[in-house]
Amino acid sequence: MNVIIKTGFESVKHTISFQPQTMLKGNKLVLAGHVRNVEELRTNRNSYLIRATIIRQTSVTLTPYKTSLNIDNARIVTGVKCSCVYNQSGKCKHVAALICNFQAALGKI
Ligand SMILES: [Zn+2]
């Protein structure tokens, strides 16, 4: 059975080596309320994908970025995607923001 969860998220773990500034910028996006429409996709009780739209810091009118995290059963991030142009490395501030958003939900920043 497929379920989409939109609230009450548990935190995720990751092994991505973000630049410290990237985490700070991501956190700012979260605090500014730029992380929107967060959804967690679950099938047979296993979450496998988290996705969100992230409003651009430089323009609230341009199309927001679409960012997603693949997670495994232990809620460890196994893959990331972002539609921004900075994401060749998979370490952009939007991915950082989405991860921060999940930690912020538990007050762990
Ligand atoms: Zn990005």
Write out the residues surrounding ion ligand 1, Cβ under 5 A.
82, 84, 87, 92, 94
Whole-number Å distance, alpha carbon 36 to ligand 1 midpoint, is 14
Q: Is the residue at 109 inside a domain?
A: no
Q: Is the residue at 31 inside a domain?
A: yes
Q: What is the pTM of this model?
A: 0.90
Query: Residue 65: which residues within 8 A CB-CB, separation 6 or more?
Result: 53, 54, 56, 82, 83, 84, 94
Nearest-angstrom CA–CA distance, 23 and 99: 9
- Indicate if the alpha-carbon torsion angle 109, 105, 76, 30 is positive or negative: negative
Total structural domains in the chain? 1
- Percent over 70 (pLDDT), the chain: 92
Domain that holds residue 67: 2-104
Whole-number Å distance, alpha carbon 43 to ligand 1 midpoint, is 26
pLDDT in tens, 52-99: 999 998 888 999 999 999 999 999 999 999 999 766 778 999 999 999
